Chains A and B, each alone.
Chain A
Amino acid sequence: MDRVLFGDNQFFGVNHMSEEKARAQAMRFQNGKAIIEVLEDAYAEGIKAFMCTTHERMSEICDHFRTNKDKYPDYVFYPCMPYAHKYANAAAELGMLGAVRSFLPEENKLGALLRGGMSLARQDVEGLATLLIDAEMKMFAGLKTPVIFLQNVATDFLLGLGFDEAFKMFADRVRDHYDAEPGFMTMNAPMLVPRLEKLGISNPIICANFNKVGFRMCPSIQAYEDLVAQRRCRMVAMSVLASGALAPRQALEYVCQFENIESIVFGASSRRNIAQTKQLIDELTRR
């Protein structure tokens, strides 16, 4: 994995500190062109991996990178699936099963619905999971996706239920069909890693909050520090700036002191902030 990954929260009105800021960002980035400009800025600063939710708006970004492959020959996407609000909103409107049905692939509808219907009827969760993963991955066809993440609401929901087999289903599909490494986003990394190990998923790629103030590091910052010290996972640190609660240098000094943190993902909207954060990570990594 690259040392520095670019995140996408800023593009979709996600800001854990301020709704006003989130709305301002949603306005600025409602045009896909504005997103692409920022991705190009990041690319120019040497950030060549984009970790993005499978938000429906991402498909136009994918189109751009597909048609301009020569411009970004070494660009990679790290998809994070699913976009949880899409499912949660559909579940409130259509019920649990209705929501699942509504996200089955649209092309070849009859076949997919039949397969989906049969998967539903037989409680064949693996068949259903496969269909849903493929539906989410469709927009990335023809692009490089070396790591595919299960998004944290899904991971943590399954983790809480004890539905561990789903992690194996996800990992198998990602490895076998997409020739990619499975990754798991989570807010409960110290609980997740041992469970993945039990399933035979050793040294998994984990993307979790890692910040000096312990924001959303459950159950404790100490448990996370122990986890990376034990070298039991390939950690991608996210929310390193704790949504802006920390000054960049102070925040990154904390994260970069852990040699076993493999990558850092951050999101920013201005070239200046992107450059500053990237340069800081490079400088602190070399130390």
Chain B
Amino acid sequence: MIRAAIIGLGKMGLSHQAMVNAHPGIELKAVCDSSTYVLDVLSKYTGMTTFADYKKMLAEVPLDCVFVATPSKYHTDIVAAALERGLHVFCEKPFGLEPETGYRLADLAERKKLVNQVGYHYRFVGAFNEAKRLLDQKLIGELHHVQVEAYGPVVLRPKGSTWRAQKSEGGGALFDYACHAIDLMNYLIGPPIAVSGTVLNSVFSNDVDDEIYSTLQYSDKLHGQLATNWSDESYRKMSVRLCFWGSNGRINVDRQEIQIYLRSHDGSGGLTKGWNVRYTTELTRPVWFYVRGEEYSAQIDHFVQCINSGQPSASTFRTASDTVRVAAMLRLDAQKPRTAIAANAAASAETAGSPAPLRQKSFMRSLFDRL
């Protein structure tokens, strides 16, 4: 049995607790959170051993691994402390807020040969894995354009009282939401080499961005577009959709289904020329325990299997740091001046470079970022 503890019992931490506790290969030894209320209730009704201080817990409880699900800004210190003690670590996304820190932790985990995983659960969705399999086979030929969109109802009012609404705490749609879309693209076709035209915009939030749009460059011949907005209440829950265009067709994929259009095909793999559709019901592998989506269970089971087999995870500290690096590129790119469109030739001579409003905005943004 693998001895585990959970640090941070918010929405994700409690959901992990339910799945970890139900896993036949894990013995959940303790949980840790700063809210004494949550700890008291868990201790009273489930008999769980609880701690308010993770350092004390790590020192006192013999463990093999920890699950870290605190607000993002605490990830780095806690993960480092767990790795130093020789523990395998599952950490929630985004995985730090600076890529350099993430890569240092990846180095440390790899040096110590510890399983390290980040909770990018879309890597465990059946339909996305089917897309990966088909893209790797070059089924739709050479890719030339990709599109990733992620929309959902997270911030629908100006005021939010949790850390998710605070930039200094790692809040904001870029790191807390768009990272899922970025990571999924990294997983499917690799990280971009350049980004341009990035927009970080607030819809309702006072302190953070709610929508992100950007152009991504993967090679001379392959480019893509990213669009994410967590202030869209027309969606019932987060929805991620990707489209790939290749020389031999197109793939549309979301959590529910994969649609494949083939210009030509030899009939292999049960596919035909033209449209092919496959649904989640046939692409999803059963899990041992289900709470809120197979992928959440599957990522925990994968972590356990990696600990038992010594194999590296499919979502490591290093791949997560690649994702954070792209997010950091987007943040930087959003501050760059834009190409102005001149109203006429005379005006063009006057306003070479950026127009005043855009320059101002950019200046204000960089000032805010510094603050």
Contacts and interface: CB of A to CB of B under 8 A. Distances in A.
A210 interface: no
Contact size range, B: 35 or more
A156 B286 CA distance: 16
Given A17-B281, A85-B236, A163 B286 contact: no
B113 to A, nearest CB: 30
A245 B45 contact: no
B291 A96 contact: no
A217 B44 CA distance: 31
Given A96-B38, A160-B22, A219 B289 contact: yes
B11 interface: yes
Contacts of B287: 218-219
A262 to B, nearest CB: 23
A123 B281 CA distance: 41
Interface string B22-42: 100000000000010110111
Given A17-B256, A153-B292, A219-B288, 10 more contacts: A19-B255, A19-B256, A89-B153, A96-B14, A98-B161, A98-B162, A120-B37, A123-B37, A123-B41, A188-B290
B155 interface: yes
Interface of B: 10-11, 14-15, 17-19, 21-22, 35, 37-38, 40-42, 44-48, 153-157, 160-162, 164, 236-237, 239, 241, 254-257, 279-282, 284, 286-292, 294
Given A17-B280, A96-B38, A161 B289 contact: no
Contacts of B45: 125, 163, 165-166
A245 B279 contact: yes
A160 B21 contact: yes
B256 A161 contact: no
**List of 10 A-B pairs having minimum Cβ-Cβ separation, nearest first:** A160-B18, A187-B290, A245-B281, A160-B22, A162-B46, A218-B290, A156-B291, A91-B11, A17-B279, A215-B281
B30 to A, nearest CB: 14
A88 interface: yes
Contacts of B289: 156, 160, 188, 191, 218-219
A20 to B, nearest CB: 9
A176 interface: no
A93 B162 contact: yes
Contacts of A220: 286
A217 B257 CA distance: 19
A208 B14 CA distance: 23
A265 B138 CA distance: 42
Nearest to A153: B292
B178 to A, nearest CB: 16
Nearest to A186: B290
Contacts of B153: 89
A153 B291 CA distance: 6
B42 A161 contact: yes
B161 A243 contact: no
Given A19-B241, A94-B162, A123 B44 contact: yes
Contacts of A243: 279-281
Nearest to B24: A219
A159 interface: yes
Chain B CB within 10 Å, residue with most, of A14, A125, A153, A214: A153
Contacts of B155: 93
